Each structure stands twice: as structure tokens, then as C-alpha cells.
Amino acid sequence: MKLSLKIDSPFKKYLFALISVSALIRAALAWSLDLGANEAYYWTYGAYPDLSHLDHPPMIGWFIQLFSVNLSFGGEFFLRLASIITGSVNTWIIFVLGRRIKNELTGIYAALLYTASVYASVFIGTFINPDTPQSLFFLLSIYFLHEGLITKYESCEETRTLCKLALVIAGIFTGLAMLSKYSSIFLWLGVAVYALSSDRTILKKPFFYISVLISGLFLLPVILWNIENNFVSFAFQGSRLLSSEGGFNLESFIRSLAGIIIFNNPVNIFVIIAAVVAYRKRKFITLPQYRLLISLSLPMIIFFLAVSLFTVSKPNWSAPGFFPLILVASAYLASKYEQRDFRKLIMPAPVANAFSFLFILTALGVVHYYTGFLNIDTKRTPGEKIGREDFTLDYFGWRTLAHDFSELRQNDLDKGLMSEKTFILSTNWEDASHKDFYIASPAGTVVKTIGPLKDTRKYAWITGELGTFKIGESAYFILSSRDSTDVAALGKRYFRSVEKAGNIYIKKLGKPVLRFEVFRMKEMVRIPERELCSFTKY
């Protein structure tokens, strides 16, 4: 049951080379790329900690605080350091899982397929988000669930005792996974599926229920926060998953399916399907192991695919469900290639193809990030919106904006046009988070929002903590060409006057790809309605 650090095998140097090279590449990306809106938003979880938050449990905020030493170390790299370290640890854990399930060759294939996953290496291994801590605890939960539910020596009292202990530890890690993302509860649903379909004696074991109870206790902070805030988080999550206003939506399903395939690497998906088909003829792992891994995977994947038939379902929501399937695929590859020459053994064609896909996709993304060569046309008239179709702009140009806005603001201060206390106003959490991280926080000022809760999210609480608004104060509003906010109407409603301060252009290879218009909103004359500016205070 012990997660041993000792690896005495020919695969040792390959595993550590894989982890080291992957970590260096991911660290380089983390250092060089600007934060995305989601990442900047999760920074607020560390900057404004709480027992829980509207859209996620608190673990991601705690991870950020831990790895940045409570935000003592600033910048993109240290904010993403948790992801870099967690990604490396996860690679080792999935190796150990594969080794435990079959052999070390299975472990090395699991580590390789895991690293070849866009989701594992880029989304949770480079960028910071709630999936990062979830992935760590999800994998550890799988390990101890396997140890606790697959009893290898029934006649051995010591083994039965270790299985009971493993179930308790699985409950702890599943609780931590649920404290990272609510979707981790699908681990218990998977266990229930396995118990009902393969081993109903599990339902008679007291330690199974003790484990479930332990994992539930980890949600106590979330429950206490929701009691204090009228269960708004549960209502918010329910509205996202159960919304079916548009009815049956085949396009949403196709988009979700395509996203899942790309996120998890099409080659990985192909190998997984081949493994499931091959298992009917050749049992390369024991039947209980196979059924457990399938049961831990399919409920999560099927549920979010079903959700996508009616509303938007993001590909990362179901991605942890592919971890057990990677183990099935790895065991299949190990049984297929174990007789090969050692050097050919390490990187068989499926694994090489999976890495080729990851490399090509990442290279295209990085080149486009800096050049915009995939943009069909970057030339626009001055009044026309630009940048709406380029998703990489979410991660590009924020340092330039911060520098140019700082000069504009200092010029205004020198001329007495605005004061040091002037805050930045926004109408949505994505925009507010970027402006807060890159502009407001370094300048010693703040960001406040006006808008409904579904648009402002955590900033409804942040704005409340900052005292909401006061008559007579002024604000900057920075409008992106990707945004459709009616600045004139907003300013006219709440301020004495609105005037344009200037434009800031973000360029790639000398071509403008994004425009920011800076507005001065002077002297607030009307306090926004409570439901538009604070969830907790007036």
C-alpha cells in the first residue's frame, strides 16, 4: 500500500528525465505567458481568502497561498508554481499506480501518456486553476481506492487490515479532492457503480461508510460558507449544470466532444478505445481491477457529456475521469510491447504519436501567441472591434497594458486630473481580475465592480469588503475591443461626467491585435443598487 519512492529498474532514469524535461518546459511557459482571466481570478482567492467561494471550493486559493508564501512572491511564475510542482508529482504518482496495477512498464507508459495529455501538461501542469489540486488528490484517491477495494490475499488478516486503512486514507484524499472541485464526488459514484456491478460485499463493510463520512467532513468549510451566504454557491453551480433554456443542443455536444478529444489527446483516446476493445479477448489486468478503473471513469465522463446536450460543458470538467482509463491503456500497451527490444520499448508508435500531437499543438499555440499568424486579418479600421476571435489574447498583452496605463495614470496625477484614490471600475469578473492583478494591485489601488452576481462573481464580495462606493469618488474604466460594455450609459447613470483619456494598442509583429480605450469617470453621483455592487454590504 505504501507509495514507495524507491525505483530500482531500468526505467528509473527515463522517468526522472521525463519529469525533469517536462517541468523545465512547463516552467518556461509559466514564466513567459501572461495570466489568463481564470488564473487572475483564482489569484483573488489567495488575495481575499475565505472558507469557500461562489464558483469553487477554497483549495485552489490555499494552494496559491502555500506555493507563493501567502503571495509574498508575485508574478506569473510563482502563481503557477503550484501547477508545475503538482504536475511533476502527478507524473510520479501515475507511474506508481501503473506499477502497482501491473508492472513498471505499465507505470512508465502511464507517465508518458499522462504527460502527452494537453489537459495534464498544459491546463493543470502549467496554468493555475482548481483542477490542479483536484488532479493530485484525485490520483491519490484512485491509488488508495485500488488498494482498499482490490484485496489480493483474502486469507491474510494483515492484508485485510491494510485494505481497511487504505479505504480510510482514500476517504481523506477524496475529501481533499472534493474541497478542490465538487465534481470529485464522482469518485464515490464510481465506487458505488463498481460495488453494485461487481462486488456487493463492499456495501457491507463498515470502513467503506467511515471513509465516505470522512470525505464528507472535508466539505464542512464549504457548507458553513454557504449557510452564511444563503447557499448561493450550490444554487450557482446548479444553474450552470441544469440550465436547459435552449433545449436539446447538438452543436454544444459536438463542441464538448471535440474539446474532450483534444484536451485528452486524440492518440490517447484512440489507445484507450483499443485497450477496451482488446480486453474482451485478452485480460491484461485482472477483471476486478479493470471494472474498478472503468467504474471510476465512466460516470464522470458520461454525466458531463449528457450535460453538454443541453448546455455548455467544458472539456476539463470530465478530464479527471480519463486518469483511470490512461492506466487501462498503459496496461494494454505493456502487454502488447513487453517483448520488444528495450530501446524500442520506451517509446512505441502510439506513445510517440501522442507526444507528436502535444508538441505540434503546443508549438502552434506558442508561435501564434507571439505572432498572431493564425489570424485571418488583423487590420481593422480605428472604430471597429478587433481581437474578438483570437483566444490567445486572453493571455497576451497585459504587461504592455499595465505599463502604458501606468504612464497615462501618472500623467493624470501630475496634471491633477485624477487622484491617487481613484479606483478601476469593471462590470465582469474576467476583466476585473486581469485589471486587478496587472494594474490595480501593483499601483496600490483597487478594482470594484458593478453588475449582477453571475457577471461579477467573487467581486461582489470583494467590492463589499472594500466598502462598495461613495458619492464623489472617481474611477477609470478600461474597455477592451473584445468587450461590449456601453461605457457612456454606465458612466451617465452613476457619474457626473465621462471622458476618454486615450487608447492603448496591443500589437503582434507590429500589427494591432487588441485595443483598450481608457475612460475617466469623474465624481460618482449615484450609489449602485445593492444587488449590482455587493453581495454582503451596502
Q: Measured in whole angstroms, how far is the alpha carbon of residue 530 from the centre of its chain?
A: 31
| Amino acid 117: pLDDT | 98
How far apart CA 312 and CA 302 sit, in angstroms, is: 14
C-alpha torsion sign, points 35, 40, 45, 48 = positive
pLDDT greater at residue 338 or residue 193 = 193
Q: pTM above the 0.85 mark?
A: yes
Q: What is the pLDDT of residue 242?
A: 67
Checking if the pLDDT of 72 tops 60, the result is yes
Question: By the 8 A CB rule, do 296 and 194 touch?
Answer: yes
Strand (E) or helix (H) holding 125: none
Q: Is the distance from CB of 410 to CB of 442 less than 8 angstroms?
A: no
pLDDT attached to residue 500: 96
Is the pLDDT assigned to residue 157 strictly greater than 80? no
**Digit-coded pLDDT (tens) for 194-250:** 999 998 999 998 999 999 999 999 999 999 999 999 999 988 888 777 665 667 788
Mean pLDDT of 303-330: 94
Distance CA 29, CA 311 (A): 32
pLDDT digits (tens, 9 = 90+) for 414-430: 999 999 999 999 999 99
Mean pLDDT of the chain: 91
pLDDT at residue 1, rounded to an integer: 46
314 pLDDT higher than 50: yes
Distance in angstroms (rounded) separating the CA atoms of residues 471 and 494: 9
User: What is the pLDDT averaged over residues 401-415?
Assistant: 96
Cell of 44: 483573488
Torsion of CA 413, 438, 77, 514, to 10 degrees: -120
- Of 131, 41, 120, 22, which is closest to residue 79 (Cα–Cα)? 41
What is the mean pLDDT of the segment spanning 83-108? 96
Q: Which three cell numbers stand for residue 148?
A: 482498499
341, three cell numbers: 527490444
- pLDDT at residue 341 in the model: 60
- Rounded Cα distance, 110 and 99, in Å: 9
Q: What is the SS3 string spanning 148-196?
A: HHCCCCCCCHHHHHHHHHHHHHHHHHHHHHHCCCHHHHHHHHHHHHHHH
- pLDDT at position 385 is 62
Q: What is the share, in percent, of the chain residues with pLDDT greater than 90?
A: 80
Q: What is the mean pLDDT of residues 102-107?
A: 94
Q: Residues 439-448: what's their mean pLDDT?
A: 95
The dihedral formed by the CA atoms of 120, 124, 130 and 135, expressed in degrees to the nearest 10: 40
pLDDT at 312: 84
HEC string for 314-356: CHHHHHHHHHHHHHHHHHHHHHHHCCCCHHHHHCCHHHHHHHH
Say yes or no to pLDDT of 507 above 70: yes
Query: For the CA atoms of 271, 276, 281, 283, what is the dihedral angle to 10 degrees?
Result: 100
Q: In this predicted structure, what is the pLDDT of residue 3?
A: 46
For 518, the 3-state DSSP assignment is: strand
User: Is 49 buried (19+), middle (13-18) or exposed (0-12) by CB count in 10 A?
Assistant: middle
pLDDT in tens, 251-309: 889 999 999 999 999 999 999 999 999 999 999 999 999 999 999 999 999 999 999 99
pLDDT tens-digit series, residues 367-377: 999 998 887 65
Q: H/E element holding 257?
A: helix 250-263
How far, in Å, CA of 328 to CA of 292, rounded? 10
pLDDT the model gives residue 12:
86
In the numeric block, the cell 460618482 is attached to 524
Residue with cell 464515490: 188
